[in-house]
Amino acid sequence: MKNFTSELSVGAYLKAGANKTVRTLSQLKDLYSNREEVNRILENEDPVLYEVFEMPPSPKETDLLVNITVLHAGVVGEEPFMTKGHFHQDPDTGEVVIGLKGSGILLLQNRKGEIQEFPVEEGKVSYAAGGWGHRVINTGKEDLHFLAISGANMIHDYETAVKLNFKSLPVENKERISANE
Ligand code: 6PG
Ligand code: NI
């Protein structure tokens, strides 16, 4: 990755050279447990759930990945929009998540099935250590923006998250969501 400086906003980040990846409901429909609701929504439209803005990665494995994700507000049945969720493959690289705007939860789960949850909002920084799969859930009513920084030597491992039945929304969180309303 080349040197850059940017305001912490998506517009400025794009001007600084970031690439955009779009994730829609049809690509991620298996994440949501209410299949009928998924099909009902997809009959009318294929909503964008989130967008990832990433500086072009470097071939050097000692480099950093620095992304902004915009996770839109919305629900599929009772489940709020969430990222796909993944582990970082060997070497199990850690990740820093910094909330920029909106409110949500960083859900961490390790291979033993232990779970931790941290808030994602402006002024909060969290660290997901190597070996902890991670997913962000937008529990608020506005778009959730967050910055993620990790090592360029990692490969996104989505399969392990699926195999381990990575949690989408622990029951306790339902109270947290209603507290935001
Ligand atoms: C990363 C970060 C983060 C993440 C996006 C989209 O590893 O780069 O965790 O930028 O990739 O928020 O989440 P998914 O990769 O799970 O779709
Ligand atoms: Ni990650």
Q: What is the pTM of this model?
A: 0.90
CA 104 to chain CA mean position, Å: 10
Pocket-testing residue among 28, 65, 69, 98, ligand 1, by greatest number of atoms within 8 A of Cβ = 69
**How many A from CA of 29 to the centre of ligand 2?**
20
The ranges assigned to domains in the chain are: 10-179
Percent of the chain with pLDDT over 70: 91
Q: What is the pLDDT of residues 93-115, one digit of tens each?
A: 899 999 999 999 999 999 888 88
pLDDT band for 178, please (50, 70, 90 cuts): very low
Atom of ligand 1 nearest to the CA of 158: 16
pLDDT tier, 170 (very low <50, low <70, confident <90, very high otherwise): low
Q: Which fold has domain 10-179?
A: Jelly Rolls (2.60.120)
**172: pLDDT confidence band, cut at 50, 70 and 90?**
low
